[in-house]
Structures are given as structure tokens and as C-alpha cells.
Structure 1
Amino acid sequence: MSIPIICDCDPGHDDAIALILALSRKELDVKAVTTCAGNQTPDKTLNNALRILTMLGRSDIEVAGGATKPLACDLIIAPDVHGESGLDGPELPSPIFQASKLNAIELMAKTLQASEESITLVPTGPLTNIALLLSAYPHLHKKVKQIVLMGGAAGVGNWTPAAEFNIFVDPDAANIVFKSGIPIVMCGLDVTHQAQIMDEDIERIRAIPNPIAQCVAELLDFFMIYHRDPKWKFEGAPLHDPCTIAWLLKPELFETQDCFVGIETKGEYTQGMTVVDRYSLTDKQPNAKVLFGLNRQGFVDLIVESLMFYNK
């Protein structure tokens, strides 16, 4: 039985790879793809989702653009990481189909309403669209099985000393999501910084004889450039967003802990911080399953295995 999911993303190299992985697996049923501003501007992230689905021959999946800016902040993007297009590196096809006339929130609501079973939301960008959905359609909360998101950290941030990029871009949206009462799986920097792809892993991917694997290798070539900065002290490039898909496919690859997670929406130094009560220091009940450990080799093997699907 396939797990029905909606991918809400801001492609972005690692978002694109997460989509490619999700669409390679019979265990997952991608019902819709929605986009928001984040890694790049909203027009570019929407176009990038359409380009990826065009490359994969999946114009049957409805795609909708969503929030053009955070709920209460000015938009921040990450062109230094993802380039001018948001997916610099490989040559991707132009879209052969158009985005839905619905916006992202309307498409998610329509998809949830039409489904006989509950659906997992998989946001890999800022949580603006998800917060708007939950606020506008409270009666649909029961149709959401869980929210498996990439964002946050129990330790240090990667955009400010305290905050991870996705949460920092729209902390008010994250606050709504984490207070929603819907089960949350948080794939934060604690685990995604362990999900590093090394040079030899990229060559292993490049050796897979299909054009999708070649595209992924070229995405990783570009993504690696930013992460070679010595300040990060990385051996490779952390594949943040594919951790969400890997969790859905093989949760046994991860070490988890149920924790209370609070979102700092204001603060001179801490805006966007995810305050993770790892040691039960407060009386607040856990509201998220937080991922802390990863079998990195198993993660890489899963990516390679998934990309071999496209040999057919």
C-alpha cells in the first residue's frame, strides 16, 4: 500500500533530489506538488518544480504555486547556495505543462478533501503554505496523517547562529505548524548534516546509466561548491531535504526522540530558533519526533537504489 503524500517545496537542489527520489518509489504516491518562495523567488521555485516533473515525464501531477513571501517578514532567498535559477548546474528542460489555476493552499485542500485516506504533508522549504492551509481549513486537520518536514535544529543554525534557513525565513508559519497538534517528524540539521554526499558518492551516482542520475550528479556538483567553504567543516555536501523521503521509506536508518519543539518568533539573536527540549527540562508535552542520528551509508545506498529505477 503506497503512502499518499503532498510535496511542498522551494526547489532548490536538495528539494529537486527529494522529488526525484519520491517519484522513483512505488511505496510513495505523490498526490500533488506545491511550491513557495525560499531558496529562490516564487516564480523560479514554481518553474523549477515544473522543470523537474517535465524531466521525469510526470506532467500528470498537479503543481501549484503558493505563498510569495513569509507571513510577517520580508522574503529571504539563498542564491549563493542554489544559483541564479535556483537549480544551477544541469541543463533542465523547459516545462511542457502549466501550473494549476489553483494556488498551493487550494490544491492541498482539494487533494485532502478528495482523499479517502489521510495524507502525509512533506514540506522541504519554509512552512508558509502549510501554516496557511492549517489556518484556512481547520476541518481538514483530521485528513493530515502527519507532517514530515525539513527544518530546524536542536543545536546551532546554518543561516544565523541560532536558526536553520527554512524556519528563519518564516518563523511565524513554523510556530503555527508546531502548535497545530498534528504529528510532526522534524528532519533538522542535527541529522541532515550527517546526510553528507561525498565526492565518491557523486561518482557512484554518475555511473548509473540513465539521464536522471546524470542530472542528480550535476546538481550535486553545483551544490558541493557552496559547501566546500572551510567554515562548514564538511567532508561533503549535506542533503537536507531528501532526509524526509528517506524517513518515509526507511525509518530504520534514523535515530529519533520525541521532544517538545518551540519556535522563537522574535529575538535579536534567536529569531527562527527551534527550541528543542531534548532533556525534558520543561513540563511541555512532546509535539514532534526529532531525528538525531543517521546511517549515512544506508542513506546513500537508498539514493542509488532509487535512481536505478529510472534505468527502465
Structure 2
Amino acid sequence: MRIAVTGGPGQLVLSMGERASTLAHRVEEVGPPALDLASGSDESVFAALAATFGGAGPQAIVNAAAHTAVDRAESEPELAFAINATGAGAVARAAVRLNIPLVHISTDYVFSGEKLLPYTEADATGPTGVYGASKLAGELATIEAGADAAILRTAWVYSPFGANFVKTMLRLAIDRDEVSVVDDQRGCPTSALDLADAAMTVAANLVTRSDPVLRGVFHATGSGEASWADVAQAVFAASASAGGPSALVRRIATAQYPTPARRPPNSRLDCTRLAAIHGIVLPDWHASCRDITTRLIHEIKTEKGLAR
């Protein structure tokens, strides 16, 4: 199956490119300058997507394009809404015109984080910052466009690519014996490689099956839950086992690490619906985190000529 994935070379886009052959798909990346959701019109977005595979056109679209700088979004809300809301609507309307199914990627930040249990798709949304509000607006724009779409909310994404928490921890451990990490925020760490598999499987289901239940909002995160401090500890353990840097984790409260944007204390998402309807259960985060950390350490050693 041919899949057009929107966005620059970020974690999910690169992960989909890597994982596509495993699932017998062909992924075509559609990003700047051809596709500019920050300032592009409906017509320019449609033209970029329509031209992806020449006259044949892709069989599905995954909209992974997003303004994901959570803190920076607080100071540049116009840009965040242009990409995450207006841009998402343009992609959805293009999908309608092309008569192509769409998988739209969203986030746990559409919730306030105050619920004590994992969030289900039926729970009321209530973003507390610009990033979450813009992503929620993108969900609504996708729905209002009437796209043949599934919306996947995910959380705490990490991968071998780009900037993410796992890579930050490894970098800090190079010259620190101890790293302070927040321990009172809980979520479901998600490998972008696992999310890529899920997004492409959902896309394939939309292409091959017309059942309305396959459409709508779904939660898609790694299995299991953790605090950020738990993830840091797992990263350091895996790194040490692979001969990489490690550090002690000092568990701190969110109040000790203030940020411009408020982080949800509870980012856990209940993925039961995705499993029941699409037959997808993402792997346990411990295993995926270990595999990616080990891979990163091996890549570092290879670059330095230390790998055996």
C-alpha cells in the first residue's frame, strides 16, 4: 500500500519510512517546502498531496505534521494553530477531495491531566495550554471536514530519531553522575517505531474495510505506564548494559522543574478501543525503550569506531 505521510523529518515520519518495508508498504514523505502547513492554502496542500505519486495518488494519508514544541507554543500561538489546527483541516479537506482515507496523529495534551484513571476516548477534553488546544482544534477540523479518518492520540513519544527524552537522558549522562527527573507526572511511553506500525495498520484497515466503527478517535500508546523518572532509570539501565553512559536518578516534583507550559500530571491513555476494533496493541514500553536505547548506544560506538 502507498502512504503519504505529512511533516518534516521528525520521529514518526522517519519511523514510518524505516518500518514501511516490514509491513509491505511504500511511504512517501510530503513536507516543506512542497507542503507548508504554516502558511499554505487549501489549494497548495491539495496540490502537494495530489502530486505525491504522480497521477496515481497515494492510497492513504497519515498526517504527522505538527508544531510539537510545547513550551514554545505558549509564545507563538498563531504558528501552533496555523500548523496544528488550520493545517490539519487543509490536509483533511484534501483527503476528502482525493477520496483517500486519513490517519491524523493527535496527543494526550487534549486532556487536562486531572483524571485519576487513564483517559478513554469518551472522556471530556480540556487542554490547559496552547499546544493541546491547537491539537484539539486540529481534531475538530479533521472531523468537520468529513474526512474518512481515524484520529490516533498518542503520548510521550521517543525514537532513535530527532530530539526526545531518551536521547536527552543519554546526553546528560555523559558528564553528569546524577540527573534530576520529574516523578509526579505519569504517562505511557511510546516508541515512534511502534506508533508507525500502528498508524500504517490503521491506514490499511481504512483502505480495505468500510466499517464505520474503524473510523473516529482512538488512543495509541505503548503498553504500561511510568513516570519520567521511571523512564530515565530504564534508559540508564539499558545504556549501562550496552556499555554506554549512566547516571543516578534524583526524583523531583514538577514544581521543582517549572516550564512555560503546564504538563498534564496524568497523561495515561486507555487503548482498549484500539485493541478491540483495530486489533492493535502496542508493545510494552520497557522492551521498546531498552531496544531503542541499545540501538542508540551501538550507533554512538560505531560513529566513534568503538563497536565490535
TM-score scaled by length of structure 1: 0.43
Greater per-residue helix proportion: 2
TM-score scaled by length of structure 2: 0.44
User: Which of 1 and 2 has greater Rg?
Assistant: 2
